[in-house]
Structures are given as C-alpha cells and as structure tokens.
Structure 1
Amino acid sequence: MRKKATFAVDLRTLESLTGDLVSVRDGKFNFADIENAPVLKHVSVVHRPMQCLEGVVEGHPRLPDGHRIVTSQLWAACNAQVLFARTLNRWYRIETVADLWGC
C-alpha cells in the first residue's frame, strides 16, 4: 500500500504538469525553459497501461547518458519550435524519432 505522503508528491507532479500544459495551450510557454531538458534519441511510443516514450536518454538528472529508458506517462508531444514531449514527470526534447504513434 502506498504511503499517504505519496499523495502530496503525486499532486505536486500533476499540478506542475497542468501548469505546463496550460502554458502551451495559451501560447505562453517559453521554449527556452526546456533548453536543458534531457534528450531522447531513437524514440518510439510504447504501450504500457498508458502511453510512454522509449528512447536513449542524455542529460537526465538521475539516469546515465546512453541508457535506453521508458518514460513515465506521456501527456503531450508537440512540434513547435522544437519537437518536445511532456511526460508525467518532466519535459524531454526529442532529437530523433524511430517510431512515433506506432506508425
């Protein structure tokens, strides 16, 4: 069973996600803010009980460069000034795409 303290962490994560998505929707998102976001290479969308991204990561605060990872739940993937994605936990800049949306 999850600890009650986890709820507060989950809520902060969702509030951060909501704020980011509202900024994108309202055209107020500053793409310079993700200049130092981890980079995913050779990306494809994978399916768990929810959609996630799988790719080789660089610049992640906790994971070593060059490792193939599966992200937390995918919430948004957009191609504006740069191709980027917002997962439940963080922003990613997409460098190369291997298979997007299973196509």
Structure 2
Amino acid sequence: MTYRWLDGATVVRLLNDLTCAESGDFGSVPVHESPILRNYKPVIGKALALSGTVSGHPRVADGREVITSQLFYLDEERGLARTMNRWYRLCSGVRNQGH
C-alpha cells in the first residue's frame, strides 16, 4: 500500500474540508453526495486508512471491497470520514452499528 500526494488541488480540497469539519460547518462540503463505506474498519499500512464495502463511488463498482486513501478525519458519531481523496459516509462500522 503506497500513499502519495496526487496534486495541489487535492491537498487544497482536503485542507478546506478539514477546516470546515473542525468548525462544524458541514453545509459547505458535499458529504451528502459522498460514497458510502459499509462494514468499515481501520487498517494500517504506511498510513492509517479504512477498509470496507463501497457504494456510490465515482470510480469503483458498488459492492467492491476497498482500502481508502490515507485517513485524515474520522467522526463515527456523524458517520463521516475524510480521506486524502474524498469524504465517505460510514455505515455499520466499528462503532456505528445502527446505520
């Protein structure tokens, strides 16, 4: 598992999203359009990431097991995670059994 910075725009989006999340301003980030990651769990390689079954991902078929890009933000109470590349809505994860 190798993680790399994709481009400057990806990093800028990540930093903007983390700033919004820190302030609790989720209205300005498109979390409602984010892929769903079911049965997620943390995985450790060269960086912390999540694994799970994805649906609604723009490049990965529904029902496929994935390992996300590097994890930067995890809020299990809100059911949200932000990786290097995108937001994920979390369902049936480690602590979110009710989703």
**Identical residues among aligned pairs (%):** 34
What stretches of structure 1 move > 2 A for 4+ residues in a row? none
Normalization by structure 1: what TM-score? 0.80
Normalization by structure 2: what TM-score? 0.83
CA RMSD of aligned residues (A): 2.3
Structure showing greater Rg: 1
- Structure 2 spans left out of the alignment, 5+ residues: none
The aligned residue for residue 38 of structure 1 is 35
| Contact kept? 2:37, 2:88, Cα under 8 Å | yes
The aligned residue for residue 29 of structure 1 is 26
Q: Name the CA shift for 1:24/1:32 in 2 (closer, same or farther; >3 Å).
A: closer
The aligned residue for residue 4 of structure 1 is none
Corresponding residue SS for 1:97: coil
Aligned pair count reads: 93
Q: Take 2:29 and 2:46, find their aligned partners in 1: how far apart are those partners?
A: 32
The aligned residue for residue 94 of structure 1 is 90
Q: Note if 1:63 corresponds to 2:60.
A: yes
| Contact kept? 1:45, 1:99, Cα under 8 Å | no
Q: Name the CA shift for 1:36/1:97 in 2 (closer, same or farther; >3 Å).
A: same
- Structure 1 spans left out of the alignment, 5+ residues: 1-6
Task: Kindly provide the amino acid, as one letter, of the partner of residue 85 in structure 2.
Answer: N
